[in-house]
Amino acid sequence: MDTPVDTATLHALFERQRAAWLARKPDYAQRMDDLARLREGFKRRLDELVRAMDADFGRRSRHESLLTDGMTVLHEIDLVRSRLRRWMRPQRRAVDWLFLPARAEIRYQALGVVGVIAPWNYPVNLALIPLVSALAAGNHVMLKPSEFTPRTSQAMAELLANLFPAERVTTVLGGADVAAAFAALPFDHLLFTGSTAVGKRVMAAAAPNLTPVTLELGGKSPAIIAPDYPLATAAARLGMGKLLNAGQTCIAPDYVLISPERRDAFVAALRAYVTQAYPALRDSADYTSIVNARQYERLAGLVEEARARGATVVTLPDAAASDPARRVFAPTLVPDAPEDTRVMQEEIFGPILPIVAVKDVDAAIAYVNARPRPLALYHFDLDAARTRRVLDACVAGGVSVNDCILHNAQSELPFGGVGPAGMGHYHGHHGFLTFSKQMPVFRQSRLSSMALMRPPYGKLADFLVKFLTR
């Protein structure tokens, strides 16, 4: 579909997909062919998608688009195709001795029709990687991309319409009303990526149908810098992760925990990194703009509230780096924002980085654990024992040690949140499992030991029950 749809049309599209799936469920050959065609078609139109993202953002780094929305999708397809036969194979499971010589196995069955609601910040990656997982598991898919990146959404709709029949993959365009009706369809599974607030509404819409949901949400992801970790290295790696896509990343570090005596040196190291990475930042093709005016104004409001409450505000590389007309929001540090300011309470989703002074790593652990569990946690430390202490004490959706956001780039690792940061996982094998029913199968043998346990019960049954409940 290349135009917005109403509720009746949505239901018709869904029923068409369900009927097609019931008539012919994709086998291994079909799944492999679907993924191969997706890879070829995506590679052919990747430059078009990169240009669309650039137009939607006003300015988006070409290199970042190729890496985060291009390479990731291609690598995901390649991994899935190389492992799919093995993943689909039934897996033997042990049978308790009491039931021998019976056998048991797990079979991986497609669910049916899967819904995917994708966000605007990585509009290709976060739409197509779930699509890859769902197709690999043998499902048909309805995709709802974001209305905030309309050119990219239209380009993806055209790409997928040229590759797949609508009864197998279809794209639904439209705004919040369409998304709400979409979430209420009786999908066999629904994956949503977006804010925690909207995730709650999606879950509520899915609940009447008891639709299982995977929610990839957000939150405030902390970075802990140990007392003896090299600050230049920490600044470069955190700066790369924070300023990728101008901070419009769900797993971007949301605040830094560091000892008070190292705070100023860390600020200086970040300034040096920004100066080196983005010379002439206002005009740098490597620095992405904020997606729209509303988001820009929200970010400016976070900074101004903190400033009005007495916080220090440090703009990098200098105060003249921002350009509101082109939505260029310069990297901004807030070293001492009051705890009850919005910049300390809300997910930032932009190039603003609060810095919190803590006495030591144990104090940092306590700070993190006093707050909702984060989507990501970053710990910079050369001490293995202290790192283990952090990993043992904190629960997060994912962790990168001595780097930032790169755990998300590993297809062999599950990606997903915990608590208010989300539920469920995907990527690689974990995506295949999310969109499959792991169906347990018990195979009874010609001779069954359970014959000894049928009524009428006698002395042998009494003996066996007594033995089994000892």
Unique residue bearing structure tokens 């939607």: 56
Print the domain residue range for 61.
7-217+420-439
pLDDT digits (tens, 9 = 90+) for 181-193: 999 999 999 999 9
What whole-number distance in Å separates Cα of residue 442 and Cα of residue 414? 29
Residues 431 and 408 in one domain: no
Residues 211 and 227 in one domain: no
Q: What pLDDT was estimated at residue 1?
A: 44
Residues 382 and 424 in one domain: no
Angle between helix 72-88 and 125-136 (nearest 10) = 10
Question: What is the CATH classification number for the domain harbouring 119?
Answer: 3.40.605.10
Residues 187 and 242 in one domain: no
| b (16+ CB within 10 A) / e for 344-358 | beebbbbbbbbbbeb
Residues 288 and 183 in one domain: no
pLDDT digits (tens, 9 = 90+) for 213-252: 999 999 999 999 999 999 999 999 999 999 999 999 999 9
Residues 205 and 319 in one domain: no
C-beta separation of 147 from 153 below 8 A: yes
Residues 136 and 228 in one domain: no
The two beta strands, 189-193 and 213-216, are: parallel
What whole-number distance in Å separates Cα of residue 375 and Cα of residue 223? 12
Residue ending a domain, choose from 379, 397, 413? 413
C-beta separation of 404 from 412 below 8 A: no
| 216 part of the active site | yes
What whole-number distance in Å separates Cα of residue 364 and Cα of residue 323? 35
Residues 207 and 227 in one domain: no
Residues 243 and 277 in one domain: yes
Residues of the chain predicted below pLDDT 50: 1-3
Cis, bond preceding 165 (omega within 30 deg of 0): no
Q: What pLDDT was estimated at residue 452?
A: 78
Q: What pLDDT was estimated at residue 2?
A: 47
Angle between helix 231-243 and 263-277 (nearest 10) = 60
Torsion of CA 90, 86, 410, 124, to 10 degrees: -90
Residues 208 and 349 in one domain: no
Model pTM score:
0.94
Whether residue 452 is contained in a domain is answered as no
Whether residue 12 is contained in a domain is answered as yes
Unique residue bearing structure tokens 């068409």: 16
Phi-psi region of 403 (alpha: psi -120 to 50; beta: other; left: phi over 0): beta
Please tell me the total count of domains within the chain: 2
What whole-number distance in Å separates Cα of residue 329 and Cα of residue 315? 10
Q: Among the options 167, 216, 347, 394, which is catalytic?
A: 216
Whether residue 388 is contained in a domain is answered as yes
Whether residue 1 is contained in a domain is answered as no
Whether residue 270 is contained in a domain is answered as yes
Q: Provide the CA 80 distance to its chain's centre, in angstroms.
A: 17
Residues 96 and 59 in one domain: yes
Residues 212 and 245 in one domain: no
Q: What pLDDT was estimated at residue 456?
A: 87
C-beta separation of 80 from 133 below 8 A: yes
Q: Provide the CA 404 distance to its chain's centre, in angstroms.
A: 15
Q: What pLDDT was estimated at residue 4?
A: 60
Whether residue 460 is contained in a domain is answered as no
Whether residue 464 is contained in a domain is answered as no
Q: Among the options 76, 167, 250, 347, which is catalytic?
A: 250
Question: What is the CATH classification number for the domain harbouring 321?
Answer: 3.40.309.10
Whether residue 86 is contained in a domain is answered as yes
